[in-house]
Structure 1
Amino acid sequence: MQIFKGVLFSVFVLLISLSSLKAQRPGGGGPPGGGPEEMVSREKQALYEQITDLSDDQTALLDGIYDEFATTLKEAFEESRGSNDREARREQMQALRQEKDELIADVLNEEQYAIYEKLAIRRNRRDRESEENQPE
């Protein structure tokens, strides 16, 4: 009976531990939108949901562009960690996005790129609103 109580208690503690882990944000309590990888993953997923006529070659190229963008973005976030120069961070982010946009423009046809631009406009609007709500 004592062993059963011990096992039951252990299972109970394990369940409580797991539920508290599940309640945390991705990345262990990082930024509300997640880290760079999560942001890039959401953007790529939205693109793939909106543009359904991508060829296998286009998908492979886009995957490479987004993987490289995620890596570069993560490095930029780590380099600027602790910096209070929001304007420099914003300019760096704009330059990285512009480079990504140019690469994507080379992969997509005109109709597909128009869809991508609409998604980018929505994303930029959300980013500006989020930035305006950040404390100084």
Structure 2
Amino acid sequence: MKNLLKMTLSTALVFVALIAVSQPPGGGRRGGGPDEMIKREKQAVYAKITDLSEDQKLLLDGIYDEFEVTLKEKFEEIRNSGNREGMREKMQALRKEKDDLVKDVLNEDQFALYQEVSAPRRGRRQGANPNGDGE
């Protein structure tokens, strides 16, 4: 009987350990945290827009780095205040600001490709239309 109990407990511990190890980044949240979300978008943009100059890449890196810092600050601010009112509007405003900066860096064709990459992700997260304009 003791051996059966030990085997059952050992098996249970193995399953618990496997479940804990197999959790995705971000503590089980789908897609990870803001840094993972931004990293995936940036990689998708670079994969889609193949004719970026070195200067454009440097500028985009800076935009994404700043966006990540600002986004983390907003998440922390919301987490600390417990006030989730207006969170969507703040996030949309941040994304619009990033989009405006990106638009200044890319030419018209490149920006259209950027929108193809970023807008569908936004639509899935927010339930917005693929144009990202909230209408």
TM range (shorter): 0.7 to 0.9
TM-fit CA distance, 1:20: 5.3
- Identity, in percent, stands at 57
Question: Match of 2:83?
Answer: 83
Distance 1:23 1:120 in 2: 28
Question: Match of 2:48?
Answer: 50
Query: What do residues 8-63 of structure 1 show as CA deviations (whole Å, max 9, x unaligned)?
Result: xxxxxxxx96x55541221333x212111001001101100100110111111101
Secondary structure of 2:26's counterpart equals helix
Aligned counterpart in structure 2 of residue 96 of structure 1, from 94, 110, 113: 94
Question: Match of 2:11?
Answer: none
TM-fit CA distance, 1:83: 2.5
Aligned counterpart in structure 2 of residue 33 of structure 1, from 13, 16, 31: 31
Structure-2 change in CA distance of 1:128 and 1:37 (3 Å): same
Letter in 2 for 1:28: G
Distance 1:40 1:90 in 2: 17
Question: Match of 2:23?
Answer: 24
Letter in 1 for 2:35: E
TM-score, normalization by structure 1: 0.74
Question: Match of 1:123?
Answer: 121
RMSD value, Cα? 2.0
Secondary structure of 1:28's counterpart equals coil
Secondary structure of 1:32's counterpart equals coil
Distance 1:59 1:73 in 2: 21
Aligned counterpart in structure 2 of residue 110 of structure 1, from 108, 111, 124: 108
Letter in 2 for 1:83: N
Distance 1:107 1:22 in 2: 41
TM-score, normalization by structure 2: 0.74
TM-fit CA distance, 1:124: 2.0
Letter in 2 for 1:100: K
